[in-house]
Amino acid sequence: MYPCGSCSDVYETQLEVEWHRHECQYYQMDLVEMKLDAEDYELWRIQSNLFNGLRK
């Protein structure tokens, strides 16, 4: 069994769940949030590197 992970749907095969995820609005919203979290982390990392560089 392959759960979507973002909604309660469960599928028999990996292929079915991958097709479902293209249509699942909850999965798409989770993808956007993961992307935003990654961008926030990257910005924080760049800013802290700049700040540490200025302190030396």
Tell me the backbone φ, ψ of residue 47, rounded to 5 degrees. Answer: -65, -40
Please provide the average confidence, as pLDDT, over all residues in the chain: 93
Looking at residue 54, what is its pLDDT?
80
Kindly report, residue by residue over 1-56, the tens digit of the pLDDT: 999 999 999 999 999 999 999 999 999 999 999 999 999 999 999 999 988 888 76
Q: How far apart are CA 14 and CA 35, in angstroms?
A: 23
Looking at residue 56, what is its pLDDT?
60
Q: DSSP readout, 1-56? A: -EE-SSSS-EESSHHHHHHHHHH-HHHHHHHHHHHHHHHHHHHHHHHHHHHHHHH-
